[in-house]
Structure 1
């Protein structure tokens, strides 16, 4: 787990304010159903974008939105301020966890080459997908178990709230509670660490962008561009044994990904 503070470079306050306005606009304009506003992560509006695999898909694809919300998310992806934040997040991961960064970047490139109809979410960012969490977002204790087990997901916070009194990130297994001010980024292995936010006041506003990589994409690539089900149906006994051994040692691979370059 690691926190990157708000950048002090000239112009970054304008970037963060622009991202905040973009997320306010999406929150005001989005057409949302009840499941998008009250879900296992909390009672707040959320929309996905980017690439994933699983949940009934037969191959990797874009996260689905209604035509109206898809237009909002396309505008979000094309927003120059949002793109700067995505590159800031990418640079943070590359600095802190260079092996993991190379793994995610290579995985994303392989998926895109194999599926030319798919679009990369952000140029210069190794994450395949993100959720935008809107307006008064604070989460219940949860794990994001559809993400790659050993990957560091990243949350970037914006809004107008007193970060000394609310919005803190809690990582339960680590025993950590940390302030999470607007304009900062936190890297967390969200697939296995239970995490949540401290509520904000009713008059305050807090949004976030949660960057992640679907574990389904990693399984698809590892299986030779097919699902677990298809691989197990087609594999020889020897291939299946090797596959099971590789899965049993996944925690070792993941630990190595989190170590610095030697």
Structure 2
């Protein structure tokens, strides 16, 4: 495994043909100090307050859910999380709003309304557009179609701030994910991960991209975009006294009109045609990646 001591400066990671595969978004140009004070620290504090409200403090602070409670550990890791927005999967036959209790929906809505989270979303949106303009526009136009077709679909944020349909708040308190892929994400799509909390990024919290044999330093307050449906990823543990949260935004493949398939039975001919359609969509999808022609940084 190679370790990249990323300093938070916006950096593309390109493939063998110089197409941008990963966007290390970092921080806005106005400086990490201002971003920490005005955005990253208040956002982490708001997430902690929301978590304690939803779970109660003793329950939220437990680190290992499966060994002590007897419940199975979630696939991505033993940490508290809640998702909001439009999605499709798990038995849904069409894109629809994720189900939340009235109380939890109100708590998550209050987070989206806070200036720090709106600034994180806006910065993430800008990084996405800068490094993958065609893919960004595909997300925007396709989700616009979904919302126009079904007015009951609720956006987490205005489209000018975010083109992603779904957001997950990983409340930790020590968010450490297991190696996984996000099979509900669009096959060639990007997801955005913003790390928050009080932890030492030199000692833990690194993003691990297993297929690339790459470990990336991931400082709190910074954002990284990756194709999470085909790159297996996780993150390094942090110290017992530290906290780590992250906000994770995606657009599930099923929430794109072209990927919707609600039939329960198919003929062999239909299955073969769908296989060919998937291959065609994949070939079209990876053409949305941007070829990098600027200066590169050696990893």
- Is the shorter-chain TM-score for this pair beyond 0.5, marking a shared fold? yes
Q: Name the residue aligned to 2:220.
A: 182
Match of 1:206 in 2: 244
Q: How far has the Cα of 1:197 moved from its partner?
A: 0.4
1:7-156 mapped onto 2 (5 Å cutoff): 7-9=28-30, 11-13=34-36, 14-31=38-55, 38-123=73-158, 124=160, 125-134=162-171, 135-156=173-194
Q: How far off is 1:243 after superposition?
A: 4.8
| 2:284 is equivalent to residue 253 of structure 1 | yes
* Distance (Å, rounded) in 1 between the aligned partners of 2:222 and 2:292: 25
Report the CA distance between 1:171 and its aligned residue. Answer: 0.3
Q: Does 2:27 align with 1:6?
A: yes
- How far residue 258 of structure 1 moved from its aligned partner, in angstroms, is 1.1
Partner-residue secondary structure (3-state), 1:105: helix
Structure 1 residue 70, shift from structure 2 partner: 1.4
In structure 2, C-alpha distance between the alignment counterparts of 1:249 and 1:261, rounded to whole Å: 24
Which structure 1 residue ranges, 4+ long, deviate > 4 Å from structure 2?
32-37, 239-244
5+ residue gaps in structure 1? none
Kept in 1: contact 2:94–2:262 (CA 8 A): no
Q: With structure 1 as the length reference, what TM-score do the two structures score?
A: 0.88
1:17 deviates by 1.6
What is the TM-score when the length of structure 2 is the normalising length? 0.78
Task: Return the offset for 1:9.
Answer: 1.5
Unaligned runs of 5+ in 2: 1-21, 60-64, 294-299
Shift of 1:244: 4.3
- DSSP 3-state at the match of 2:146: helix
> For the residues of structure 1 that align with 2:79 and 2:72, how far apart are their CA atoms?
5
Please say if residues 146 and 215 of structure 1, whose CA atoms lie closer than 8 Å, have aligned partners that are also in contact.
Answer: yes
Aligned residues: CA RMSD: 2.5
Work out the number of aligned pairs and report it.
254
**Greater shift after overlay, 159-168 or 239-248?**
239-248
* Partner residue, 1:230: 263
Residues 203, 238 of structure 2: 8 Å contact kept? yes
Distance 1:151 1:178 in 2: 20
Q: Secondary structure at the match of 1:252?
A: helix
